[in-house]
Every structure is written in structure tokens, then in C-alpha cells.
Amino acid sequence: MKFSLIIPTFNRPDEVTELLDSMVKQTFTDFEVILADGSPATLVRKVADRYMNKLKLIFLYEKGLGISESRNWGVQKASGEYVIFLDSDCIAPPAYLDTIDRFLQKNPAEVFGGPDAMHESFTPIQKAISYAMTSPFTTGGIRGRKKHMGKYQPRSFNMGVRREAFNKVGGFSGLKVSEDIDLSIRLDKAGYRTVLIPEACVYHKRRSTFYKFYKQTNSFGRGRVDLYLRHTDALKFVHLLPSLFVLYNILGLLSVLFSLPVFMAYVISIGIYGFIIFIHASSIHRNLYIGLLSVAASFVMLAGYGTGMISNFISRVLFKSTRESEKPEITRE
């Protein structure tokens, strides 16, 4: 078998249904799907049962199963030459696996990944969040691109690894946040070739509210500090930009207390930045409302990541805490 698709999930039956529907429509058929569920209820199992006759589907269940443990368990049960990790809130286009197969035949590699894209069925908030996570005017612009700062590192929403290579580096290490970047770094240090397949995109729905999105990006920022403590070369200047954004806003708001001209300069600068995002997002979506939401989503993303990174830097680096970050509970709703 060529591919084993491993999907961790926690009580998300609707998302799993959409993802499995997209697997049924794949034009490439030499694959299996391994669904690893940690839900407290049986809703996901009921969804999986409906697809047993439509797909080569393996259902794994353990109440409270963590995301990295889910993926490692899935690989243990896999029979494919490559294991592909997808998030349960993704939808794969019909030619997704076919695109990967054709690319690897011409460009052999042990590790690969693809970008995430926005689907027309997304809600306005999901479209705005997708913009923030992929825009050249936010740090999301470095994801899924050939030209970005540092080496390309696949993320587990759309990441493939030759199963032999995955096992040789020990799989996911137990890091609870940024575990996919940690795996990418260890695979690279082990000498395995990593490639980006630009056409192998998935539609990534992400969070459905700005509150959930903030908590998610906050955990990403905290996770970058944990990653830095394991791999000192994992922290680049681009990762500091959200923290600088937070500090710039704090100082800008405080400036009203001692200098009105400085405060006005701050307001104008933030206004110009927001206007650039508004124009760019509105032109992409041809929708002014989504343009406005994209400004909010971009600010939420930068604030979430920046505050998470600052708080965990204080905790782990200055106060020497050994406690690593965990994913927010909102991912389990």
C-alpha cells in the first residue's frame, strides 16, 4: 500500500464526516485511512461505521487519547509506504493523493507537505482566519511557501513521511504544542529530504470564532518557546514579530499618557497597517465584510501568538519552569 492517512480527532463528528467524504472521492485509491479518536462519547465511532464499506478504514479508540499519541498509534497500525497526517478539520480535494503520488515519482523524498487553502463553503469568519494564517502581511505568510525564512517545515495538518523514516526518528516526541515542527526538525537533522508540494493543498477550516482562534494562536506562541528550548535554532526573527507587535501596541497605547503626538503617530501607523490588510483581503475575496473580518483575524492572530510567546518566555526562560505548554481545551469542543 502506498499511503496511510492518519487522522486524530476528539469529538468532531461533523468535521470527520466531511473529511471522510473527501477521502471517498479521491482519484487515487491505493490508500487506507486510520482514524484515532479520543472522544468521551461514541459520536465519531458512529460516523466511522458508516464508511467501513466505502474506505479501507481502521478505527482506533481510547478515551482521552492525546493528539501525538493518536498519531504514533496510527503509524503502528499503518501498512502504507508513506504516512500522511491530516487534521480532522481539513477537506482534501479529489486529486490530493494523485498529486502527491505523481510528484514523488518525479521527486523522491522522505518528508513532504503541502499548503492549506480556503474553500468557498467556509463561513466569513473562517475565510478571515484562513486569510490571517496565509497572508503575506502577517507571519502566516511563511507557511506553505517555497520562499520563506529558514527551511520549509511541514505541519501536521498536511504532512507526509516515509514510514521507515518516521519510525527511525522515534515518531512524535511527546511535545504537546508544535510537535509537528519538532518532528520536522528531527527528520531534517537525521538527513531526510523534505519537499513542499505546492499543488497538494487541503482546505483547512480552523476555528469557528475569534475567541477560539486567539486561544489556538496563543498556544502556538507558547509552543515556540518550548520548541526553542529543545532546538535553539528553531527561533528566527520572524517568530518574534508577533511579540514585537504586542509590545508596540502596549507602548503605543501608553504613549497617550505622556505624548499626544506620539500616540497619534501610533494610531496612524496601526490604521495604515489595518487598511493594507483590509484592501488586500477585500480584493482577494471581493467582499468588504470579509476584508473587515480579516483585519480583526490578523490582529487576533498576532496578539494571540505574541502574548503566548511572551508569557511562556517569562515562565520557562526567566523563571525556569519545566512545564511544557498544552493545546487549548477549545480544540476538544
Q: Find, among 134, 68, 64, the residue nearest to 280 by Cα.
A: 134
Mean pLDDT computed over every residue of the chain: 92
Q: Are 188 and 109 in contact (CB under 8 A)?
A: no
pTM for the model stands at 0.90
For the segment 16-24, the average pLDDT, to the nearest whole number, is 96
What percent of the chain has a predicted confidence (pLDDT) above 90?
77
pLDDT, residue 331, reads 41
Sorted by where each begins, the domain ranges of the chain are 3-206, 211-332
For the segment 167-188, the average pLDDT, to the nearest whole number, is 93
- Listed in sequence order, the residues at least 6 apart from 331 whose beta carbon sits closer than 8 Å to its beta carbon are 10, 216
For the segment 44-50, the average pLDDT, to the nearest whole number, is 94
pLDDT, residue 273, reads 98
* Residue 209 DSSP class: S
Question: pLDDT of 304-332, one tens digit each?
Answer: 999 999 999 999 999 999 988 887 754 44
pLDDT, residue 142, reads 53
For the segment 96-119, the average pLDDT, to the nearest whole number, is 95
What percent of the chain has a predicted confidence (pLDDT) above 70?
95
* CA 204/CA 159 separation, integer angstroms: 13
For the segment 152-164, the average pLDDT, to the nearest whole number, is 94
pLDDT, residue 148, reads 46
| pLDDT classification of 147: cutoffs 50, 70, 90 | very low
pLDDT, residue 145, reads 52
Residue entry with cell 526562560: 317
Q: How far is CA 201 from the centre of its chain?
A: 13
Task: Report residue 178 as a C-alpha cell.
Answer: 508544535
Question: pLDDT of 250-262, one tens digit each?
Answer: 999 999 999 999 9
Task: Compare 39 and 318 and report the one with higher pLDDT.
Answer: 318
For the segment 59-87, the average pLDDT, to the nearest whole number, is 94
CATH fold of 3-206 reads: Spore Coat Polysaccharide Biosynthesis Protein SpsA; Chain A (3.90.550)
Question: pLDDT of 85-99, one tens digit each?
Answer: 999 999 999 999 999
Question: pLDDT of 195-241, one tens digit each?
Answer: 999 999 999 887 679 999 999 999 999 999 999 999 998 988 889 99
Q: Are 32 and 4 in contact (CB under 8 A)?
A: yes
Please state the length of the chain.
Answer: 333
Burial bucket for residue 76 (CB in 10 Å: 0-12, 13-18, 19+):
exposed
